[in-house]
A and B are shown apart, each in its own frame.
Chain A
Amino acid sequence: MAETQFRYIAKKRRAKEHRRFVAGSGRFVADVALPGMLHVALVASPYPFARIRGIDAKVALALPGVSAVVTGADLAAATEAMMSGLDAPKLKRYPLAHGMARYVGEWVAAVVAESRALAEDAAELVEVDYEPLEPVVDPEAAIRPDAPVVHPEHGSNVLFRHKWTWGPVAADFAAADDRLSLRARWHRSSTVPIETFGVVADWNPASQLLDVWASVQMPKYPDQLARALRLPGNAVRVHFDVDVGGSYGVKRGLKHSILVGYLARRLGAPVRLVEDRLENMRGGDAQGPDRIFDIEAAFTKDGIVRSLKIRALDDCGAHAGRAPLQLGKPVGAICGPYRVNSVEYEAISVTTNKTPQEAVRGFGQSPTNFALETTIDRIAQRLGMDRIALRRANLIRAEEFPYTIPSGSTYDSGDYHAVLEKALTGADYAALVKRRDAARAAGKLAGIGIACCLEPSGGNSAFEPLFNPKNETTTWMEGCSIKVDLYGAVVVTMNTSSSGQGHETLASTVAGEILERDPETIRVVRADSLGALPSNSPVGSRMAIMLGGAAAGAAKKLKAAIIAIGAHKLGATPEEVDYAEGVVRLRGDPARQVSWEGIAEIAHRKFHELPPGMEPGLQAQHVLEVPTGGALPTADGRVQMYPCYAFETHVVYAEIDRITGQVALGPYLVGHDCGVMINPDIVHGMTYGGVAHGIGAALYERFRYDETGQFLSGTFMDYLLPSAHEVPDIKVVDHCTPSPLTAFGQKGSGEAGYLGAPAAISCAVNDALVPLGLAVAEVPMTPALLSDLIARAKKTG
């Protein structure tokens, strides 16, 4: 599908939503202020593991302006435990710690007062009597039989452990010319949006309705909130017209919302909780994957990778959260973009006394990509082969698509070799090599990183049944509706909030494309959760595919109705007319036509001119299933979760300062193929931002705990986000292999950049360390880590 065939898609177009943001008139959750609103502050556990013997709130409650102090016992009595996603019914999780505090920062009590400042004052007056317990901090220690158990009623720290074998792994290993093994470590980081999570709830006793405004990006959020609050779903109305200040996966805040919903009902007043930064990083339950990979690879002497054994041990923190399932998404791209005959994958999820995880951009795919690319580089090193030649030899070839990998997922389309060549050309790889070699000759530590990575997108959430057979989720649908009013104005309704992905631009561009109407004239609104069609929020790089597809589906139905009305007015059949830019003309006699406005007026006023059987008004809706449908995993765990696979090749040049260990990056180039880009500026922007996020994960960002479980990274001075000084000028070279499965050939791109940057930067740093005989398979490669390594190498070398 050539991009030139489109009228509005794939063209430069200003983002519809951005005018309000540059004017400073976005409406974020902290901007929602209701009369009589009360504010929440939290009492957090100072211990990683402790029994709560008692909570004394008398002094706090005596402070004027304080309305309530609530504890875990209140919440456990009045709400349902949150669902873990696993078949582990004894794992109970409530918004406030109940009986036991399981990590530093876990909320033990909530204080409600007339202002946030007053609530914070009162929180300091709440006295909690703790009996400290021995914590478990290290994930490998946590699976030993003598380890302290974070959830004694569950009986062990192991939440999930399963080994899948896809294809003849043992035979491939036995027949291989060579084998190697390695350990790769992805330390705990997250997406850390600049806006923290916030929620406002207001209970109306007369209508028995809970109104909720939240900075949320969470599938099934209204359903889960209602369930936890023991309310019918139609008694909770989530307002999706709240602008969300970044999320990239983590803005779920279900525990915050249950707490605030409970308080609003109990106190009969609107209640607001907006995390401060420490609450966000420590007790917001939004940290990310924390993973140890042990990998074995079997390959031929020519560098053909035949088989992989991957063991991934993930430290999920004190509650399951989304952590175990983040081991599931990578099943859909378990061998990356490479032809690998067989794969064994063991996924282990363990609890420790740390902050729980939330879904992080890529849902576990970026750590997996880092581990895979590290393996590829080690094989090249072992064989003395060029890293790029090894990749070329193993990449799936363009003519092999659709291509099914051993774990049962079929990759839709791609031309990986073309993207790799474009990236090398765009980066002027030969010149980079010269530059690196000259820098090395001058005594510098210089390296080039290459990474080839996949972005699975638009999935049906079938990792849920893969990890919990009692959960038969196989659809992750998205809805959209479009109406044309009496005078011809178009309104597109979407059914979820957005956190920077430009969905109003996406939906209006797609509707405009199909209806041949200028997207600038189309308004996009968001239904609240009671008015909404079934939809699943912007997770898993799905909205171009799913909202784009749903908007296209609705627009096509609407267009068919318009053509039917116009044809009927002209005394013709729909097959005898043409549609262009909203006007219906009789084929062969185009002077006979019905205008857009004329059709809208017939639909809204003139039932007598409507085709028989047609409903009045001019509207259509469409709920789209994932393009590859939904089927349960097979007994051996083969599954198609994601329909579309975008591909990216990163080429990055790096120099390491020998003294400080600081890594200077750039030039940085990404060759990217996500099919047809509905809005190129939006795709490029997410790619640049994804690289920046990946630079953080590769070099700076780490939630640190000491050996006793104390949390050490609760501020932006301890947890370092890349600034404009650390992020180099990034160039993107586009390639377009349309997906055969989607409305316009589009694929997902919301995780672009992030899925390859840590792998590429790690590769560059390792290349730079080759002259010292050093290798690092651990991110983040912080300045401290690198400078210590280099100093030690000097001493021993």
Chain B
Amino acid sequence: MTDTLDGWEIVIGLEVHCELATKTKLFCGCANVFGDEPNTNICPVCLGLPGSLPVVNEKAVELALRLGQALHCTAKRGVFARKNYFYPDMPKDYQISQYDQPTNVDGWLDLPSGTRVGIERAHIEEDTGKNTHVGGDGRIHGADYSLIDYNRAGVPLVEIVSRPDLRGSEQAREYVGELRDILIATDVSDARMEEGSMRVDANVSVRRVGDNAYGTRCEIKNLNSLRSLGRAVEYEARRQVDLIAAGERVHQETRHWDEAAGRTRSGRSKEEAEDYRYFQEPDLVPLEPEDALLAELVATMPPLPADRRARLAGATGAEPTDSTVVIAVARGLDELALAAVDAGGDPGRVLTHVENNLAVQGAASIDPTAFATLTRMEIEGALTATQAKTVLAELVNGATDPAVVAAAKGFEAMDTSALETAVDDVLAANPDVWERFAGGDGKAGGFLTGQVMKATNGKADGKAVNAILQRRKGAAAR
């Protein structure tokens, strides 16, 4: 789907919650782990028992600041605030979060495809426990009762709020993918949507292309994968466009994505708009980011995906937004590609192979010099593209000398005159097809090439055959 729909622009802002990769929870020394027996990682603090008090985990602050720096945010004085509402997975019936003074503000993230997305804020807050609904079909509506596990209560989160700079479902998916890669690269979070360590809520609105004002947005929750995100955005955009086209208005509300039904549903009851009554958390004190720490975070920042794309592009003469570059980095094969180019490999062939032929296990451990040699063999015509692919597969399996592999497989380039003879034989055997090809039928050319390949048992190089066919065609035209 493109980023417009029948003349409507799909405007998206994303709120992403990520669990931080700390050993312990945000405000207490309970373990921050996924999957333990229910209520085995609890204490008076994360259970919110009467008399308990929170104390901030210094590692959580460090990770939040590191993430902020990776997103080009300004680190600010952070003040914790209470967000007050009743819900049984919240032990204190308020959540300690940050409200008007978040730790990180005003950053940005570049999508691999090039668009810059503004990041309004990335603030620190605590996670809630987990509800399991029993009876009904496991969903909240129609349940007989619910069971609550507080192992997750108090796990540190960073909530990253983007500006509404995303257009369409593709960009939304790209953004989340890029964010995930950044989170993993910086060791801030393992960002597993399927485990809930990264959760995405999408704010979606539509407006006519060319319009400057924003339409009414709806917040979509319960997106458990990139695929759900994409589908939900597309569904919601269509729903809103249809509403407006029918002369109705979009109501600002929270909606839930129903994966099974493939649609969003109205969520919160509309009369009860929540009043969170935010006020500064009196049990905590402000966080002042220290220059020394910030400098250290910047100095020790690992290469981020954008940095890696830029580097690979620079080394190969491609653009950072080229799909070959994006894919190479996304697959973690940029180091290999760089090493291969460094060893004299042909940049174009390297990138092409990475994109088309190396989506396999073990690709990253190919010997870069062998890879480089392989691409040079191709360029020099010693191997066809198809043959190179086969040799490459052997390199993945551990072979280290492409020349040896090629010889073992009997790959030699055909000499030119033998090739020309092979082509002429096929032309003679297929006069009607030849006539059609000479008359401009491209498909006929494909058939002829195929016949040559067959006749030579695959030894002919497809490009060379084409070149000969074109010459014959040119000669016939004269």
Query: Do A and B form a real pair?
Result: no
| Residues of B near any A CB (own CB < 8 A) | none
**Residues in A lying within 8 Å of B, measured CB to CB:** none
